[in-house]
Chain A
């Protein structure tokens, strides 16, 4: 049932390559949708030609049909910075990027640290078809001192808690948060950064910061906190999700923790697997984000982590900033770039095309895994599931044009870059909410 206008669409997506990572299904098939849910997936193996039907048809010949993509790490800026993004504009950007669901981070103004703010976000999200999953703050006012009313936040609809934007320095608070969230089986999404080691840093510390004279943020500032949070998770039995992993050693720490059975998952952003700190020679403030772009060796390690499943999820860390804020000296610019509309293209161009992993593994990181980690519906194409579906032309080449973004902001370093793989169509609860214009 679409919350937009209550219409229940029935349709059939014909002749596409249907990939469902959750059931290892990867075949040419017709996908039948009825009353907003998946009714049947009919393989072309058993039936060669198109199924005859009176339902509306979407021709997906030579296209890929996957579960609706989920981005579990975006900043929608509402409430507080509606000039940079709103829940509605962010949702438009998400749909254009192939997403049917997004999890939004709590560093808003006021922050999502109270049930009323969760309800505000969900109410705003009713005017868009996209499924918005609020992530709440771990501590009141994001001050790192007292736990928020996590029970109340979860009842209101929060799917996880996070310190993103204001990392928890105090290990005691982190320990209690990991213990307390066990009652709700939600993950703690941790932005791993030891603030005393990164103070006033603006880029990765290494060869490039030395050459450019910019103050560095050493990789060890991330790794110390990854190690700390893994140790606390192991001790408490809580559930940890590490946001935007950016260094080779972080990947190793997570790999080793998983081997020991620690309940830890992790995500990487498209910029951390497609750009490195060499690019900062231009002093382009759209290359300033936190964690910063690391070295080429770290980029390789992130790819290996994705390939062997150490990193479960690809998430954009979509962080809109106004042009005025970014058009300043590198030191003065805020951290963050937008990513909703370039994620899929970068995944296909930087990971699938070069063979880092196949379609099924790639889409698992954007469908099944985030849905499982957040404990939300979707992420699967199976009979009876909600009909959230994304159709992709995997071979289509296009050039990123930031002025055509649906996002209110333009702070992307990928403008002008040619990518392979374009979103054709997005369906949420059986309703077509986005179709590519060409």
Chain B
């Protein structure tokens, strides 16, 4: 029987990775290692959060992240309540404030929240007295995605220190990019962003990243290429001429990877637009960690839920 140290994150909530310390990130990744062992057992379930009720508030459609969280909660034996409601930016009906009041009345222990508006979980954190876990707020942050990405890379390389990571695609609208940049920088990786200049936000150097509009230059010395999903609506809003031109200039193909000196690891937060961000043979190739990301997502989310719950846990 192994007993964990009673450990807590410095913050009560997980709203983002901006400002999160290296120690806190390491604590989450180390804790996730223990949970990943559990996931590999014949009965992958522990009683850690038995009796706790977690609500998954999804104000924006997301199958993958919601399933990953639900699975993590079930593996920890928590009771879960799902609340899905796609809202437009113009709100109708019940306000977020009212939703918060209802949660309060229902005596829920923790909230996992996905919302299209940046800062929505921060708003909820001000209204509610329970830990809030941000499962993606607009283009702002998606901390558990970045944590699972870092976990996956650490598993492969042992450390993130000194890794060259190139994030390719729509940086402007990507919460994944923002959280990954914060986390990777804190852990000592070097980050370059690459994409069409209309999709690189102004003053992006504020993140401490390099910018390169030329993919072939950007990946010269890369250890990892992290391709982001391109939303098709970027074409109609005048930010991209076509997905064909995007693929031509920024798509990751074998032809592009072949001349490189180093073996490059391929990652993607999913779902992939095959033939746009990644050629199929790259997405499914031996250097792709995309499926590892999915499995690790459950372990990392278990770790975060556990650490935020304030429970003292044991694993047999």
Chain A contact residues, CB within 8 Å of chain B? 200, 205-207, 209-214, 216, 218, 282-283, 324, 327-332
B contact residues around A327 at 8 Å (CB)? 95, 97
How many of chain B's residues have a CB under 8 angstroms from any CB in A? Answer: 29
Question: Closest Cβ of chain A: how far from B77's Cβ, in Å?
Answer: 33
Report Cα–Cα, A218/B203, bound state, in Å.
12
Contact B91 A214 (CB under 8 A): no
CB A278 to nearest CB in B, in angstroms, measures 11
Q: Assuming the A-B contacts A213-B118, A213-B138, are A207 and B203 also in contact, with contact meaning beta carbons closer than 8 angstroms in the complex?
A: yes
Q: Is B4 an interface position by the 8 A CB rule?
A: no
Query: How far is A331 from B115 in the complex, measured between Cα atoms in Å?
Result: 11
Query: Does B106 have its Cβ within 8 Å of any Cβ on chain A?
Result: no
Quick check: A283 and B122 within 8 Å, CB to CB? yes
- B81 at the A/B interface (Cβ < 8 Å)? no
A-facing residues in B128-185 (Cβ within 8 Å): 137-141, 173, 175, 178
Q: For the complex, give the distance between the alpha carbons of A276 and B177 in Å.
A: 25
How close is B138's CB to chain A, nearest CB, in angstroms?
5
Q: Could you say which of A206, A214, A331 has the most chain B C-beta atoms within 10 Å of its C-beta?
A: A331
B43 within 8 A of A: no
Give B87-122 interface residues, CB cut-off 8 Å to A: 89-91, 95-97, 115-120, 122
Cβ–Cβ < 8 Å partners of B91 in chain A: 328-329, 332
- Least CB separation from B124: chain A residue: A329
Residue of B95, B123, B140 near A214 (CB, 8 A) is B140
**Cross-chain contact B201 with A209 (CB below 8 angstroms):** yes
B-side residues, CB < 8 A to A, are 18, 89-91, 95-97, 115-120, 122-123, 137-141, 173, 175, 178, 201-204, 206-207
Report whether A330 and B95 are in contact in the complex, using a CB–CB cutoff of 8 Å.
Answer: no
What is the distance, in angstroms, from B139's C-beta to the closest C-beta of chain A? Answer: 3
The smallest C-beta distance from A286 to any residue of chain B, in angstroms, reads 12
Cross-interface CB contact of A332 among B89, B141, B173, B204, cutoff 8 Å: B89
Q: Do B90 and A207 have beta carbons less than 8 Å apart? A: no
Closest Cβ–Cβ distance, residue A276 to chain B (whole Å): 14
Q: Do residues B204 and A210 form an inter-chain contact, with CB atoms below 8 A?
A: yes
B50 to chain A, nearest CB (A): 34
A324 to B97 CA separation, bound complex (whole angstroms): 9
**How far does the Cβ of A289 sit from chain B's closest Cβ, in whole Å?**
16
Is there an interface contact between B89 and A331, defined as CB atoms closer than 8 Å?
Answer: yes
Query: A433 vs B46: C-alpha distance in the bound complex, in angstroms?
Result: 71
Q: Are B118 and A210 in contact (CB under 8 A)?
A: no
- 7 tightest Cβ-Cβ pairs between the two chains A and B: A283-B119, A213-B139, A213-B140, A329-B117, A210-B201, A331-B117, A207-B203
Specify which chain B residues have a CB less than 8 angstroms from the CB of A328 in the assembled complex. 91, 95-97, 123
Please tell me if the beta carbons of B138 and A331 are within 8 angstroms of each other in the complex: yes
Q: Which of A212, A218, A282 contacts B118 (CB 8 A)?
A: A212
Q: Give Cα A47 to B68, complex, Å.
A: 84
Q: What chain A residues lie within 8 Å of B117 (beta carbons)?
A: 329-332
A218 to B18, CA, bound (A): 24
Minimal Cβ-Cβ distance residue in A for B95: A328
CB distance A329 to B123 under 8 Å? yes
A207:B206 contact, CB within 8 angstroms: yes
Q: Given the complex, which residues of B lie within 8 Å of A209, measured CB to CB?
A: 201-202
A428 vs chain B, min Cβ distance (A): 40
Using A213-B139, A328-B96 as known contacts, list a sample of 6 further A-B pairs with CB atoms less than 8 Å apart, ordered by residue number in A. Answer: A211-B18, A211-B207, A213-B141, A282-B122, A329-B119, A331-B89
Check A330 against B206 for contact (C-beta < 8 Å): no
A-B contact pairs, 20 of them (CB 8 A): A200-B89, A207-B203, A210-B202, A211-B18, A213-B137, A213-B139, A213-B178, A214-B138, A214-B139, A214-B140, A216-B202, A283-B118, A327-B95, A328-B91, A328-B97, A328-B123, A329-B117, A330-B118, A331-B118, A332-B89
> Cα distance A209–B118 when bound, in Å?
10
Bound: A282/B139 CA distance, A: 16
CB atoms of A214 and B201 under 8 A apart: no
- Considering the complex, give the chain A residue whose CB is closest to the CB of B97: A327
**CA gap between A205 and B203 in the complex, in Å:** 9
Would you call A283 and B138 a contact (CB within 8 A)? no
